[in-house]
Amino acid sequence: MASTQMFVLRWGVVSTGRIAMEFVKDSLVDPATRGTVDVVHKVVAVGSRHGAVQKAVDFIAAHAKGKPIRAYGTYEEVFTDPDVDAVYIGSPHTQHYTNALAALLAGKHVLCEKATTSNAAELRQLIKIAKERKLFFMEAMWTRFQPLTLEVKRIAEEGTLGDPVLLHADLSHDFDIDNIPKSHRMMDPHLGGGALLDLGPYPMIWAVLALYEHPSNKKALPTSVSASMVKTLQTGVDSSTSWIVNFTETLKAQAVLTCSMTLPTAHFGATIRYRNGNIIIGTPIFKPSHFVVQYFDKPGSGVVVREEKRAFHYVGGGWHFEADEVARCVRDGKIQSELWGHDKSLLLMDTFDEVRRQGGYKLPDGVEKVL
């Protein structure tokens, strides 16, 4: 007789910023509210940097509903806590490699925020170590695990629309860059600042889902990437970036992707275009609440004869779905997710390396720990 006991994954959280707050709050949501009956999450430790234990204490008091969570003034104490099974890393991009490496070397499973690292070489090294130590490692691409995304993928691949041809996706936000300090995470190149590494993963996730993951693509990597950047005068990070990703080895498809930190996001969000219709993803594309499927009367006509809208609602912010995936994979002894595996994170980082190369955006010396 199968056990009905829920698997408990005990989390240590690194950083006390906004994204860590969202993750902790979602970890405390009753799994039953989203139909999850097999795994549950327990945050046991939160760490702040440089001995700032009071920041961790205040974070727990504000966001953890009185739960008995240990507060640490260093990340290392989280990594070595024997009650921590997995570490969530929410620090700035350029600290991810060092933080994730320390967690893996301490024997912890890792969920690391996007962009996972400063470059693809760092990511390959982390994956190598995770595999050697048989530890789970995943980029925190939370959008991939949301119910809406799963339904988009089902419709995109069931055949009625045909193969994808062209995808447009944008994520932008006005950070008021003329009036924020140069030390702000979006402005400081030492923190991997700029639009690409902060906003760019979200247009890319839709390109990965709709083109790379499509069965007709047969897991072929992009055949070319073309990119252009506009940089800030203040610090030289990218303020607006666009890149085109072609998949032509098996598909004949193209993704046109943009991000900017100087204006609001585009109203179209993400649009996946097929010969037989369109899928239009609502905004914001990192957590859309709805999407629309349009069906043409005949291939290539553009005449919509049927339109279906799907809306999704759940308790929490949407971060708990990726946490559930981590818990299931750890429970089952997996070292990567089948939905968002190492290959997809590498596809992102390889693409971003090429975009930065073409845009002439080099991180300061010493920031990239593996080259």
In this structure, what CATH number is given to the domain that contains residue 189?
Answer: 3.30.360.10
Q: Are 196 and 111 in a shared domain?
A: no
CATH code of the domain covering residue 55: 3.40.50.720
Task: Answer whether residue 2 is part of any domain.
Answer: no
Considering the domain architecture, whether residues 261 and 154 belong to the same structural domain is answered as: yes
171 and 116 assigned to the same domain: no
pLDDT of residue 66: 85
- Is 326 within the bounds of a domain? yes
| The pLDDT of residue 2 | 42
Structural contact between residues 305 and 295, judged by C-beta atoms closer than 8 angstroms: yes
Quick: pLDDT tens for 2-34: 456 999 999 999 999 999 999 999 999 999 999
Cα 103 to the center of its chain, rounded Å: 19
- Determine the pLDDT at residue 339: 98
How far is the first Cα of the chain from the last one, in angstroms, to the nearest whole number? Answer: 51
Contact between 147 and 312 (Cβ < 8 Å): yes
The better pLDDT of the pair 2, 304 is held by 304
Concatenate the DSSP letters of all residues of 227-246 into one string. EEEEE-TTT--EEEEEEEEE
Q: In which domain, by residue range, is 240 found?
A: 147-311+348-359
Are residue 89 and residue 186 in the same domain, yes or no?
no
Q: What pLDDT sits at residue 325?
A: 98
- Mean pLDDT within 336-350: 98
List the one residue out of 6, 9, 3, 4 whose CA is nearest residue 329.
9
d(CA 371, CA 358): 17
173: in domain: yes
- Same domain assignment for residues 181 and 291: yes
Query: Hey, is 177 helix, strand or coil?
Result: coil
Single-letter amino acid, residue 130 = A
pLDDT computed for residue 94 by the predictor: 97
Better pLDDT: 51 or 336: 336
Q: Is residue 370 part of a domain?
A: no
Specify if 25 maps to a domain.
Answer: yes
What pLDDT score was predicted for residue 50? 86
Average of pLDDT values for 53-60? 97
Which pairing describes strands 253-260 and 238-247: parallel, antiparallel, or unpaired? antiparallel
Do residue 109 and residue 162 come from a single domain? no
CB 110 within 8 A of CB 285: no
Is pLDDT above 70 for 290? Answer: yes
Distance CA 173, CA 171 (A): 7
Residues 135 and 213 in one domain: no
Q: Which residues contact 22 (CB under 8 A, 6 or more apart)?
A: 317, 319
Tell me whether residue 368 is in a domain. no
Do 45 and 151 fall into the same domain?
no
What's the confidence (pLDDT) of residue 1? 34
Same domain, 80 and 187: no
| Assessment of whether the complete model's pTM goes beyond 0.95 | yes
**Residue 55 counted as domain residue:** yes
Tokens of 46: 């939160």
Based on the fold, state whether residues 124 and 206 are members of the same structural domain. no
Task: Classify 40 as helix, strand or coil.
Answer: strand
Residue-level pLDDT at 65: 80
Do 163 and 301 fall into the same domain? yes
Contacts of 148 (CB under 8 A, 6+ apart): 288, 289, 290, 291, 310, 312
Largest pairwise CA distance in the chain:
66
1 domain residue, yes or no: no
Question: Which residues in the chain belong to E strands, given as ranges?
Answer: 7-14, 39-47, 70-72, 86-89, 109-112, 137-139, 164-172, 224-231, 238-247, 253-260, 270-274, 277-281, 290-296, 304-311
Mark 172-182 as b/e (b = at least 16 C-beta within 10 Å).
bbebebeeeee
Q: Please tell me the total count of domains within the chain.
A: 2
Q: Let me know whether 165 and 251 are in one domain.
A: yes
